[in-house]
Structure 1
């Protein structure tokens, strides 16, 4: 999903989605409908700690969803809960001229609608493969892993001619590491140790609006 950004650009804000922009993990919400939430949570936790390769872990989790009816996606979209302060952070950033992006190891089918309502400019995420109205247990297209998140940040920076000093990236897991390292300001939000150790700022929450002062500083660079 891409929205045309008009006007002068102050900086680039890139955020992870699961457990950062949202309080939940999207694939776990879907897995609950398949009766495999416990198994999926276990794999997710290990992947976010950096103990498993993200792409392999995602394929393993999606495989557990095979046969699920795609109608559950609407039910999952209906129960999404943005992290406190997330929508206000986007509102302030947009008002101040920031380009905003969600870059997620989650799924377009779930997060695009919320992103559009929130005024997000760009979304990059995975897609479920669905055939005849049911999950096939596979991911459609390239997997958005840590390297893909970093590449997306760099592509947007080139597109809008934004220097690293004016880029803020936020995340919580090991697959956000490369993205945070590529940003002038990398923010670990309620994050796993693998991310905390390389972040420029560590926020404990509960509000994502705690990131706003860091955007103000970056915007003046």
Structure 2
């Protein structure tokens, strides 16, 4: 059995619903949340995704034999739970924003070795005052729309939440705390005498680390979400892997994509109606 969830917030009328049924070759939806989302029994997830993927303004979450409940939500931070790349923002504050952002983009597309790209970008931050981090968080860093509601609802459903980032604990600890994550894993920036040294302390949190954290949590029914190449292994290994407005390398490999809707739209994909959302 496979379940396909069609998400078209606010505009899922009879016409759109009928067109979806025709594309899917499906009977009437087994579940519908007003004009926002509907779930269908389908033959298999891959065919359902192929039938609906790319439909303007519509997101599709389809999975073969989905569990009734999930026990873990593991998420990337930069450009996923928040709308920014923290290292790019620090680079801008250090006067090297364009150089850092270019390396970030190439690394997230899978064109560069992540470890080397991170070290290169952090080196460009050498000498930046430590206080710039707190200022950056308060002035520039904002959660993506729906992040708070998604986390609050998942936690109310008994799902454990883990934030695992190739960014830095100086950001992730604050953001993870504000959003309510149960655990945070990220890189540690080296600071000496109140200034960044341009180095990272210890081993780098990369794609292998993210996969290791997923396995370490021991969850059998995990949801993983990310946006770039560094999330590929984690997203591929999860029971439900979501690409959020992602680079092509991840979008092509994930079980499902959220290209058009906010983060909390994932709740429809889990069969949770808006009346049960928290916040």
TM-score (norm: length of structure 1)? 0.89
| In 1: Cα distance, 2:249 partner to 2:70 partner | 30
In the TM superposition, residue 99 of structure 1 has moved relative to its aligned partner by 0.2
CA–CA separation in structure 2 for the residues paired with 1:204 and 1:58: 26
Cα offset, 1:42, TM superposition: 0.3
Q: What residue ranges of structure 1 are gaps of 5+ in the alignment?
A: 1-8
Q: Could you report, residue by residue, the CA deviation over 1:41-85 in whole angstroms, capped at 9, with x for unpaired residues?
A: 000000001000001000000000011110101101103110000
1:111 CA displacement = 2.2
2:203 pairs, out of 142, 149, 153, with: 142
In structure 2, C-alpha distance between the alignment counterparts of 1:19 and 1:206, rounded to whole Å: 14
Query: 1:75 is matched with which residue: 130, 135, 138?
Result: 135
Between the aligned partners of 1:134 and 1:95, the Cα distance in structure 2 is 40
Which of the numbers 126, 151, 168 marks the counterpart of 1:90? 151
- Cross-structure match for 1:44: 104
Q: Tell me the CA shift for residue 10 of structure 1.
A: 4.8
* Residue 32 in structure 1 maps to residue 92 in structure 2: yes
Name whichever of 119-128 and 199-208 sits farther off. Answer: 199-208
Once the two structures are TM-superposed, the CA of residue 151 in structure 1 deviates from its matched residue by 0.3
Q: Deviations over 1:63-120 (max 9, x none)?
A: 0001111010110110311000011000000000000011101111012112112211
Residue of 53, 60, 64 corresponding to 2:124: 64
Q: Which has the larger helix fraction?
A: 1
Q: Which has the higher contact order (CA 8 A, sep 6+)?
A: 1
Q: Secondary structure at the match of 2:73?
A: strand
> Is residue 2:272 matched to residue 1:211?
no
* Structure 2 match to 1:200: 255
User: Do residues 181 (structure 1) and 236 (structure 2) align?
Assistant: yes
Alignment partners' CA distance in 1, 2:228 and 2:209: 14
- Cα deviation, residue 32, structure 1: 1.2
Q: Unpaired segments of 5 or more residues in structure 2?
A: 1-68, 273-279
- How far off is 1:214 after superposition? 3.2
Structure 1 outlier segments of 4+, above 2 Å: 213-217
Q: Secondary structure at the match of 1:76?
A: helix
TM-score (normalizing by structure 2): 0.71
1:6-43 CA-partner distances (Å, limit 9, x unpaired): xxx95100010000000000101111110001000000
Q: Distance in 2 between matches of 1:188 and 1:152?
A: 18
May I ask how many residue pairs the two structures share in their alignment? 203
